[in-house]
Structure 1
């Protein structure tokens, strides 16, 4: 049986790779197929890889319990609307400070992915108030800046520290102990169905335009677990809305709601119904 290819944010050692490894294990248990992981430099490139057929699947972060939504994932998914969610996965995130310095007082610069920097912003402000914070494409890419400079540090995972043999200077530096990230597994195939559904829409520009779509779900007792606005990028003040439902599009009530929703939206995109993979 041929292997399935999975794109993820790389290089090796990122949280996205850990999520992809968990998805690979789940797929092997479910289908018997092994998986080959393919790292990409950015989240956008990861999604484009599966949209263009370079890989069969992609694993991307969509929401963090501390920092909120990963906007590049949402924006790119809206643009690449042929992608469908196959499953979700929630991964516990443990941020650590890696450096070749012997003490925190030596650190002058800290590199990491913007999400990781944001998840540790209070710790950084209190512990390294004078350090310059520099964003990188991924937590693992940040390690390339360390070399032998003992004034530089990077925020990454313990697994990355082991893979690249970089000392851990401080552990568990996230601002809140319950730090977890939700990932989506996507492909060009139809979604399999499940107890979660994700969609997005642009409403008509009129008074109460958002209230009416929300009432459609409330009237049918369909719970919304998340709603978030993003700029449509067409003009200032023009937004699109991402919504997660705790329901399956195969249910008659959901089908009825979506049909009615079309009348109140300018554009409606349904990314699929799916389940959460247990770890």
Structure 2
């Protein structure tokens, strides 16, 4: 049986590497097909529609924060469940056919990557025009036609498309990591973390404090909480929460059951284990080295 996994394409993105790392760990003895999509939303919806069995999508970066497209799309969808989290080291390169950095006038990259390299760009190319793209690998498609433009992507992507690297690394912090979620249609009940989201019935004093107190009273640590607009009206928010605990634990089950009474809509995205940077670094380097073989 072939396992199909959707990801933000085209080939050469960090999401493709995260999908490779996860599939090698999760489906070691099975054949895997990676299916590129033009956007994160399209990749997620492909699994819901049955076009693929899984999706790997970025959810949070250590420099720039949450990937809001992933969170907003998950809230809109009803069926996707987190299978595992993959934390991938991210090391950006400036890629261009220009003779020197000084001749570059325009840089293409995904908005997250532009933000992760903001200080470097301000110091080295303060007057350059920055143009966002759906993915870093997509940005590479522009380079050969114009030597005055550059793109931000990985060293692996540069080798994959046989393009010159003018500077590396250019991210603003050396310990740059992105957390990805592998998502499918079947829930996983065991893991170190559980992610959920909820909206509140009314925006009144104490409305958020009561749901959060539920976790505190049971000794459940929240490793993340973030608000996102519901897109219904100004000042109307929903909340994404990561809990240190799994839904198969009695105290987590009790907290979620009580939480339902304080929320308007509650969505459980599942429990999962986290594949840390130490486990993904070697695999990432192996994928890069394989391009030289």
- TM-score interval w.r.t. the shorter chain? over 0.9
Structure 1 residue 125 and structure 2 residue 122: aligned? yes
1:222 aligned to which of 220, 223, 228:
220
SS at match of 2:139: helix
1:165-188 residue CA offsets vs partner (Å, 9 max, x unmatched): 000000000011110000000011
Cα separation, 2, equivalents of 1:225 and 1:48: 27
SS at match of 1:264: coil
- Give the structure 2 partner of residue 189 of structure 1: 186
- Give the structure 1 partner of residue 284 of structure 2: none
Q: How does 1:52-71 map to 2 (within 5 A)?
A: 52-71=49-68
Cα separation, 2, equivalents of 1:178 and 1:68: 14
Contact 2:189–2:247 (CA under 8 A) maintained in structure 1? no
| CA-based RMSD | 0.8
1:4-54 residue CA offsets vs partner (Å, 9 max, x unmatched): 00000001100000000001101223xx22211000000000000001000
SS at match of 1:172: coil
- Give the structure 2 partner of residue 17 of structure 1: 16
Structure 1 residue 162 and structure 2 residue 159: aligned? yes
Contact 1:24–1:34 (CA under 8 A) maintained in structure 2? no
Cα separation, 2, equivalents of 1:148 and 1:52: 37
Report deviation, 1:148.
Answer: 3.6
Q: How does 1:195-206 map to 2 (within 5 A)?
A: 195-205=192-202, 206=204
- Mean CA deviation greater in 55-64 or 144-153: 144-153
TM-score by length of 1: 0.97
Contact 1:86–1:192 (CA under 8 A) maintained in structure 2? no
Report deviation, 1:195.
Answer: 1.0
Unaligned runs of 5+ in 1: none
Unaligned runs of 5+ in 2: 281-293
- Give the structure 2 partner of residue 269 of structure 1: 267
Cα separation, 2, equivalents of 1:8 and 1:153: 24
Contact 2:111–2:132 (CA under 8 A) maintained in structure 1? yes
Contact 1:27–1:34 (CA under 8 A) maintained in structure 2? no
Report deviation, 1:192.
Answer: 4.2
Contact 1:121–1:175 (CA under 8 A) maintained in structure 2? yes
TM-score by length of 2: 0.93
Contact 2:7–2:16 (CA under 8 A) maintained in structure 1? yes
Runs of 4+ in structure 1 off by over 3 angstroms are none
Cα separation, 1, equivalents of 2:257 and 2:189: 20
SS at match of 1:263: coil
